Amino acid sequence: MSKLVILESPSKAKTVKKYLGAGYEVIASTGHIIDLPKSKFGVDVDNNFEPQYVNMKDKAEIIKELKKRAKDADTVYLATDPDREGEAIAWHLSHLLNIDEKARVRVTFNEITKTGVQYGMSHPRTIDPDIVNAQQTRRILDRIVGYKLSPFLWKKVRRGLSAGRVQSVAVRLIVDREEEINAFKTTEYWSIDAKLSAASSKKTFAAKLAEVDGEKAKIDNKEQADAILANLKGANFVVSNLKKSQRKKQPAPPFTTSTLQQEASRRLSFQARRTMKAAQELYEGVDVEGTGAVGLITYMRTDSLRISEEARTAAAEHIKNVYGEKYLPEKPRVFKSKSNAQDAHEAIRPTNVEFTPEKVKGSLTSDQFKLYKLIWERFMASQMANAVMDTVSAEITAKNCLFKSSGYSVKFDGFTKLYVESSDDEEQSGALPKLENGETLKCADLSGNQHFTQPPARYNEASLIKALEENGIGRPSTYAPIISTILDRHYVERETGNQLKPTSLGEVITGLLKDKFNNIVDVKFTAKMESDLDDIEKGSKDWVSTLDKFYKGFAKSLEKAEHDMEGKHLRVPDEPTDIICEKCGKNMVIKIGPYGKFLGCSGFPECTFTKKIVTETKGRCPKCGAKMLLKKSKKGKPFYGCENYKECNFMTWDVPLEEKCPECGMTLFKKTGKQGKIYCANENCAYERPLDK
């Protein structure tokens, strides 16, 4: 009796095949095989929003193969990903292959391990229509917005533009933040800072002025600061109050998709797309030396903090054996998921805690190892005992002024022995010296320091993902695509330090949408739509009526916008530069086109001269010695090419360095990845060395 198992990913299919063994055929659909048509709207809004699905043209060969394999099999199992998209793919496959929707052939794997695969295969179920309807609703909502709104943008702004239901809200967050920054008024303020020392230590510690005459210290200018400093000249600094206590610090919970992307951004400087690529590979399975193909982490699209008892027990055993029993919490730690979390999956964790990062390092790429180490350490730390801090807060009196200082020392390191969560505002540690009430301290320095209030920071990937999650916009599977999309459409660009800044195009589009389609870019409205999708998945809301309510309001807004803007056209402002046009001598301006920014003549349309914006590197071409320029492919991927691209065709994905080759003096290049190295690209030189040297 032959059995066919259909998954989405070829690499996952390879791992699953290993665990199923003889009697099973395993094949991958490589994602969706049926979708709405590209050439037309494809939704019958007058007939209960009936979607007009078609077979995807680029999947013709795989569809043919799937039909052939299914025809030869006695049973077909649909083992696509355990989420909405996976459920929809399974549903489409059941129609394509004439499988009864009520047949118990839908299987899901939370982890690609022998146990996970065997459990999934032994618990088949029917396709869940509510999950399918939630995905269908989301797909149709996005089609309505994209297909109906994009032509409006073409007419009123520029051809080739597009709008997205969720992406437009993300752009609005970034635009609103930029407006806050531009509107921010800087205010001057001063602090009075003392460096003091006690008899018990030669080291100084910092104390800050907190009160003057019993009121909170508020110093607006240098004159006020100087008056306080003059008053304190020669004053005795006396410890007037000491408060000693103990503080327990709990570990962070294991990762969800959102927190994994945030932490990978802060700690590893990974973009969300890069994080999810490595996580997908770790979930689907890698060849571990001595073991073979195995999935190293649980499903990576989740917002649940739930952990299985087996995983918790295995972690406790490992902690006890490696660190000792004192590093175990008094009782097993349980983390509570947020109220709107989808609890179908566990938090992201290693499938086997005995696969320590060092044990599997040789089998992983650089990105896989860094991310796996992060996931493994975070999970293990979440199951360890609290860290215990001895804290001291000191109040120090000098004349009519009160200074405050605090510090802590680690009494028991607990989970911090393994992992400490990073943050955008890192906590400064440090212990105060031994102090006594009534003790007179020596003042080594007393100074007034000028400060200025700072505007809110621009979003980076980590803080934007956090904002999206906190506002209920998007779901675990969508954070990375949202960021990729708004960057690819050139509505947002990356600045130094991975900051996300709106382009002039993004600002114009957002302004238009706020004015004419406020619901589309309204945070609360979009969050409500996400909540509605969750209710549809639970079976507590009808998908057709949800679409109908949205469409009626949207259609009215579109009709009114068309009427209000009859004959009007919005212009995207150009960015002036000092670069002179090579043809007519006028200044060139930075414009935004389908492939991003470029230089165009300010004399357009009379002068149509354009040129690419390029960035010089510190390296030189190994073929002709000219400058190496940083460029971008049509998909936005950076590469490096010789400035004499017409005469010299040298290009590389590897980074040119300022460092010169010790053997021939030419520019060295850095290649990253599993086979990373520093090497000389001169064809007559063989110099190279490993990255870690």
Among 452, 475, 507, the domain boundary falls at 452
Among 347, 382, 417, the domain boundary falls at 382
**Residues 6 or more apart whose Cβ sits within 8 Å of residue 580:** 586, 587, 588
Among 96, 127, 158, the domain boundary falls at 127
pTM for this entry: 0.84
CATH number reported for the structural domain that contains residue 431 in this entry: 2.70.20.10
Rounded Cα gap, residues 182 and 368, in angstroms: 40
Cβ atoms of residues 297 and 282 within 8 Å: yes
Candidates 19, 77, 283, 299; catalytic one = 299
Residues 533 and 678 in one domain: no
673 falls within a domain: yes
Cβ atoms of residues 609 and 616 within 8 Å: no
12 falls within a domain: yes
CATH number reported for the structural domain that contains residue 346 in this entry: 1.10.290.10
pLDDT digits (tens, 9 = 90+) for 541-600: 999 999 999 999 999 999 999 999 999 999 999 989 989 999 999 999 999 888 788 999
CATH number reported for the structural domain that contains residue 477 in this entry: 1.10.460.10
- In the structure, how many helices (H) and strands (E) does the chain have? 17, 30
Residues 347 and 441 in one domain: no
pLDDT at 693: 52
User: What distances in angstroms separate CA 533 from CA 31, 137, 172, 472, 529, one per listed residue?
Assistant: 22, 7, 22, 12, 6
User: How many domains, in total, are found in the chain?
Assistant: 6
**Residues 6 or more apart whose Cβ sits within 8 Å of residue 41:** 143, 147, 148
Residues 591 and 556 in one domain: no
Taking every pair of Cα atoms in the chain, the longest distance, rounded to a whole number of angstroms, is: 95
410 falls within a domain: yes
| Chain centre distance of CA 3 | 39
519 falls within a domain: yes
Indicate if 299 belongs to the active site: yes
CATH number reported for the structural domain that contains residue 69 in this entry: 3.40.50.140
624 falls within a domain: no
Q: Are strands 54-55 and 75-78 parallel, antiparallel or unpaired?
A: unpaired
Residues 264 and 233 in one domain: no
Beta strands in 507-582, from DSSP E residues, in sequence order: 575-580
Residues 201 and 168 in one domain: no
Give me the domain span that covers residue 477: 136-183+459-564
Rounded Cα gap, residues 206 and 428, in angstroms: 12
625 falls within a domain: no
Residues 107 and 52 in one domain: yes
CB atoms within 10 A of CB 258: 21
Residues 121 and 156 in one domain: no
Residues 246 and 392 in one domain: yes
Rounded Cα gap, residues 55 and 35, in angstroms: 7
Going from the first residue of the chain to its last (693 residues), give the mean pLDDT of each consecutive group of 10, the final group possibly shorter.
90 91 92 94 96 96 96 95 95 96 94 93 96 97 94 92 92 97 97 95 94 96 97 96 95 96 93 95 93 93 92 96 96 82 80 96 95 98 96 97 95 93 61 94 97 95 94 90 93 87 96 95 95 95 97 95 94 91 93 87 94 86 91 74 86 92 93 84 91 66
Residues 87 and 118 in one domain: yes
Residues 223 and 324 in one domain: no
pLDDT at 344: 66
Cβ atoms of residues 643 and 627 within 8 Å: yes
Residues 433 and 288 in one domain: no
82 falls within a domain: yes
342 falls within a domain: yes
Residues 518 and 548 in one domain: yes
pLDDT digits (tens, 9 = 90+) for 17-49: 999 988 899 999 999 999 999 989 999 999 999
Amino acid at 371: L
Joined together, the tokens standing for residue 409 give 């020392």
Bond prior to 481 in cis (omega within 30° of 0): no
Rounded Cα gap, residues 262 and 273, in angstroms: 12
- Give residue 171's region: left, alpha or beta (phi > 0; psi -120 to 50): alpha
